[in-house]
Amino acid sequence: MTVKEFAQKTGMKVLAGADSIEKEVTGVYVCDLLSWVISHAGKGNAWITVHTNLNIVAVAMLAEVSCIIIPEGIPVEEATLKRADQEGVIILGTDMSAYEVCANAAKYFEKVYT
């Protein structure tokens, strides 16, 4: 499933990186410890985090995740959105909690995280 399809099915909004929206999602990974995400997120995973600073763009690129999901309607810093657009990193926003995103993802992916 592509990020575009996943976002549509779960009602998430594309906040940045719309030009890369056809990336494949392989599962979902939830973590706020950035160094842990780099070493443990699966390639193509949608990554859920409450962080919104510039560092998440670099981490997403290093971990090769398909997109970043910001839950609970948390506003994302403008500099982060701009950098994500420049780097082709997709950021999705949702009012759902991280748990609700995972529960929805479980409907579409056999493994929610790797």
| Predicted pLDDT of residue 111 | 59
pLDDT in tens, 16-67: 999 999 999 999 999 999 999 999 999 999 999 999 999 999 999 999 999 9
Domains plus CATH for the chain? 3-105 (3.40.1390.20)
Task: Dump pLDDT digits (tens) for 5-15.
Answer: 999 999 999 99
Q: Say yes or no to pLDDT of 112 above 90.
A: no
The answer, yes or no, to whether residue 113 has pLDDT greater than 70, is no
Q: How far apart are CA 19 and CA 108, in angstroms?
A: 23
pTM (2 d.p.) = 0.94
CA distance 12 to 71: 9
Supply the pLDDT for residue 9: 95
- Alpha-carbon distance of 45 to 96, in angstroms, equals 18
